[in-house]
Structure 1
Amino acid sequence: MTKLNPREIAVKILCEINDDQAYSNFSLQEHFSQYTHLNTLDKAFITEMVNGTVRHMSHIDYVINQFSITKTNKMKPLILSILRVGVYQILFMSKVPVSAACNEAVKIAKKRGLGGLSGFVNGVLRTIARNMNNISYPDRSKNPIEYICVKYSYPKWIIRYWLEYYSIDFIEELCSASNKNPQITVRCNLLRTNKDTLMELLAKENVKVSPGVFLPEAIHISQTSAINDLASFNQGLFQVQDESSMLVGHILDPKPGEKILDVCAAPGGKATHCGELMNNQGQIFARDIHEHKLTLIRNSAKRLGIEIITTELYDATILDKEKVCQMDRVMIDAPCSGLGIIRKKPDIKWKKSSKDIDELVSIQRKILSVCSQYVKPGGVLIYSTCTISEKENLENINWFIQNFDFDLDTVEPYIPETLYCDTSKKGYIQLFPNVHNCDGFFIARLKRKR
């Protein structure tokens, strides 16, 4: 296979994302597997260029259109991708010399058979580089929505949707925080080790570590190569999981010996966490509609030494009569718009629409209405999403308790006091990247009436 340099691969991935609707994380993994000559620094550079360009896409296009006679909507897709990657390096990667960003972009255009446009590419990039401090942005005081959409690269529908519930200042902080690279958080497997020992082992593997903020088993890691190559990972000493996601397990509060059902379980972070919290005693049924995703759950459970998880291929919108009133606790981590994890998957904001949210609400309510039937009288139901969307979150919960035999139950006994808020005593919390420095997550705890 021809060895492509990192910038060529970044442009190639960007074309797949924009032209073929590929997801950035899958496309990155695929190309890293394909191009085995890439070292750790190459992979980090490509990831930064791809995710950064996607994250700041409309900002980049706005700048290109300010300095290019030919507008982005009239450009050849490949040329546009080359320019976007080049502009990202110029505007957002201060350690990359402008000359390198421009020269490499020209080389890629020539190599891909577009030599006739190489002068255009060079001219646009160098003009932008010369005028970096003279870019004209919308006036925030006169048009705050336009300003935020350009400055932070968000589609207008998301900003307008959030404005129904939050202030413009809060939304700007949220967009800014969601544009930052997230730290990686892992969950110490307390069945096999303890937090201090794991942190020492990770440090010996040249991983930079620091304690999590909210939970005793959480560790932040950085400056690591591929996590899958770490001996501590392969020994099952930890699982990658954001603290917001770990909170779901704590709020569920599963006990050893209980029957737990996780109806949308893939990739298995919450199910395996429950296995650890239950001290590997009881039964956990982990369901998903895709067999390959169930394989991920089984592999994680085996690596972590959790033996109480049974995976089942099952659609959460279809009632399983055999499990009605059989479960002590049921966990619904519902399919959602993902507006809380834009930090990790920046292409979400370009792939979702307001119509998608309405369709998701319909699915979420169907799952709630079906899967709530599995909870025993007096049992617990957790509803969670990784989104910041009142329609998918609180409005769903209000609808649910008005129509089903459940009440909200305070979450405060299960969370640190630092997370207590106006709603935690009522039975739910909404986490925000700009407030809590973790994924945006909604978690509600409900109890079935006896």
Structure 2
Amino acid sequence: MNAREIAVYALIDILEQQSYNNLTLKKIFSENKDISTQDRAFITELVNGTLRNIIYIDYIINSFSNTKTKKMKPLILNILRISVYQIKFMEKIPTSAVCNEAVNFTKKKKFNGLSGFVNGVLRNIARNIDNIALPDEEKTPIEFLATKYSYEKWVIEKLIKQFGYEKAKEICKANALAPKVSICVNTNKITKNELKDMLIKEGMNVEEGNISNNSLYITKTKNIANSNAFKKGYFHIMDQSSMLLVEILNPKEDDVIIDVCSAPGGKSFYCSYIMKNKGKIFSRDIHSHKIELIKDTIKRLDIKNIDLELKDGTIFYKENEEIADKIIVDVPCSGFGIVRKKPDIKYTKTEDDIKELVCIQREILKASYKYVKKGGTLLYSTCTLFEEENIQNVKWFCKNYGFELCSIDIPLNIEDKHKGYITILPSMFNTDGFFIAKLKRIN
């Protein structure tokens, strides 16, 4: 199969089987090691780009096809989807090549009778691609944002209610962009400038992070796992918003820290760098396979002060009562702050899911708070934007469990930081959306 065919089957797997986009791509690449670096990048762009824009793409198809998307066979529909994505968003690819590939793939799969249909729809779209009429923004603003940025309407309604229309639009616009790769420098092994020089010599483009002094953005990465700097454990991949959480936590060399829901481990690793491999970090997760992945990374990074524990965040372990100076409670959430990386979230999460997640989040808080010493710090965080998973949980927790919010001292102009919590929107710094609250145990 060529790259476009692989992308079509990946989309079908994600959309029909509700698989995760990142896991689907990882599986495809691990099973097909002969796929070139260039094709890996192209397949990733086709799959994730199409997912980010799938409602808009279907809107375009339905504007030019007598047969609507809901009645199309999955294979034909997803051939059209990746083709429209290329025509609309990948201007360097000739339209003729897109149409020819789509027609050839249709014939290859024995849908000869539909090859003319595919060709006609795509060429008609290509001729009119710059004149697509969207819903009227003034008269139907929710429908406009939901269509243009590919969201379910209930998500847009929640964003507008919480942030107002203009800020909601900025969030949608930022989430439509492909994320940069952000890395956290392992300062136990190398300085940031040394790593920067090394990565440039390996052929990568390197930029400074715009939130954390310990972060770099890298592009032209090819396969990161093949980088000598990666193999030597000089960095791990981590978004800057997560790095900011660790900097707010402010780990000290003699601290005992518990990372309650630690996978994939990035926050624990960064704590270890700051602590210079001293003190003690207990990194926990409920899934054994995730613990194994963290273990592999600890070995690569040469970390000495992390103990891995297979433990359930919703269960209180009496033997750990009041052992921690600080704990990180980064709970499972709806993920609407990371749709740049996981665009399938926009179509798979529901309002009922959020209600269920709030219950789990509160169970984890109830089980975790006793690990903190009196006067100790608890950081609560999510990678979502919605109040019921964020500040509403924090207020409920403070009211019932003897904690108070503490001012967050960071050199960033972010609303509410002096109240003890911040919401990082994707539109602020081109990072993941993130919520962080800093809490102190008072009794």
**TM bracket (short chain):** over 0.9
Structure 1 counterpart of 2:395? 398
- Aligned counterpart in structure 1 of residue 48 of structure 2, from 39, 44, 51: 51
In structure 2, which of residues 279, 289, 299 is the aligned counterpart of residue 282 of structure 1? Answer: 279
CA shift for structure 1 position 327: 1.1
**Residue 442 (structure 1) aligns with:** 435
Q: Does the 8 A contact of 2:211 with 2:429 survive in 1? A: no
Which residue of structure 2 aligns with residue 424 of structure 1? 417
Is 2:178 aligned against 1:185? no
Tell whether 2:317 aligns with 1:324: no
C-alpha separation in 2, matches of 1:119 and 1:49: 23
Deviation at 1:24, TM superposition (A): 1.0
Task: Letter of the 1:181 partner, please give it.
Answer: A
The letter for the 2-side match of 1:47 is: T
Measure how far apart 1:218 and its partner are.
0.6
Taking the aligned partners of 1:160 and 1:205, their CA distance within structure 2 comes to 46
Match for 1:101: what amino acid?
V
How far does residue 113 in structure 1 lie from its aligned partner after superposition? 2.0
SS at 2:399 equivalent:
helix
Shift of 1:134: 2.7
**Structure 1: how far apart are the matches of 2:234 and 2:34?**
29
1:113-153 C-alpha deviation (Å, 9 max, x unpaired): 21221111111111111111332210000000000111111
Distance in 2 (CA, whole Å) between partners of 1:267 and 1:131 is 44
Give the 4+ runs in structure 1 shifted more than 3 A: none
Letter in 2 for 1:201: M
CA distance in 2, matches of 1:160, 1:215: 32
Q: 2:235 aligns with which of 228, 233, 238?
A: 238
What's the counterpart of residue 71 of structure 1? 68
How is 1:22-421 mapped onto 2 (pairs within 5 angstroms)? 22-412=19-409, 415=410, 417=411, 419-421=412-414
**Backbone CA RMSD of aligned residues:** 0.9
Distance in 2, Cα, partners of 1:147 & 1:214: 32
Amino acid at match of 1:429: I
SS of the counterpart of 2:417? Answer: coil
- Three-state SS of the structure 2 residue aligned to 1:106 is helix
Amino acid at match of 2:283: A
Structure 1 residue 71: deviation in Å? 0.4
Pairwise CA distance, 1:36 = 2.5
Deviation per CA, 1:49-69, whole angstroms, max 9, x where unpaired?
Answer: 111111100000001111100
Report percent identity of matched pairs.
49
- Report the CA distance between 1:361 and its aligned residue: 0.5
Counterparts of 2:231 and 2:357, CA distance in 1 = 36
Q: Residue by residue, what CA displacement relative to the aligned partner does 1:170-229 show, whole Å, maximum 9, x if unpaired?
A: 111110110001111101111011111110000010011011112221111101111110
- Cα distance in 2 for residues equivalent to 1:437 and 1:230: 25
Please list every run of 5 or more consecutive structure 2 residues that lacks an aligned counterpart in the other structure: none
Number of equivalences: 443
The one-letter code sitting in structure 1 at the alignment partner of 2:263 is A
Mapped partners of 2:383, 2:420: distance in 1: 17
Q: Structure 1, residues 3-56: CA drift from partner, whole Å, max 9, x if none?
A: x11000011101101111111111111111222232111111111111111110
TM-score (norm 2): 0.99
Q: State the distance in 2 between where 1:88 and 1:437 align.
A: 22
Give distance in 2, aligned partners of 1:37 and 1:290.
31
What displacement does 1:81 show?
A: 0.6
In structure 1, C-alpha distance between the alignment counterparts of 2:132 and 2:349, rounded to whole Å: 29
CA deviation after TM superposition for structure 1 residue 283, in Å:
1.1
C-alpha distance in 2 between matches for 1:88 and 1:283: 48
More displaced, 250-259 or 41-50? 250-259
* Cα distance in structure 2, aligned partners of 1:143 and 1:122: 33
Amino acid at match of 1:200: D
Shift in Å, 1:399? 0.7
- Structure 1 distance, partners of 2:413, 2:173, is 24
2:426 to 433, 441, 445: 433
Contact 2:58 2:81 in 1 (8 A): yes
Does structure 1 retain, via aligned residues, the 8 Å contact 2:405–2:420? yes
2:185·2:235 contact (CA, 8 Å) conserved in 1?
yes
Asked if 1:6 is matched to 2:3, the reply is: yes
Q: CA deviation at 1:235?
A: 0.5
Give 3-state SS (helix, strand or coil) of 2:163's partner.
Answer: coil
CA distance in 2, matches of 1:376, 1:335: 24
- Letter matched to residue 337 of structure 1: S
Amino acid aligned to 2:421: Y
Distance in 2, matches of 1:85 and 1:420, equals 40
Matched AA of 2:438 = R
Aligned partner of residue 425 in structure 1, secondary structure: helix
Of 191-200 and 113-122, more deviation after overlay is shown by 113-122
SS at match of 1:345: coil
1:422 Cα deviation after fit = 3.3
CA–CA distance in structure 2, aligned partners of residues 256 and 36 of structure 1: 42
Which amino acid letter does the alignment assign opposite residue 287 of structure 2?
Answer: H
User: Would the aligned equivalents of 2:185 and 2:234 in 1 still touch at CA under 8 Å?
Assistant: yes
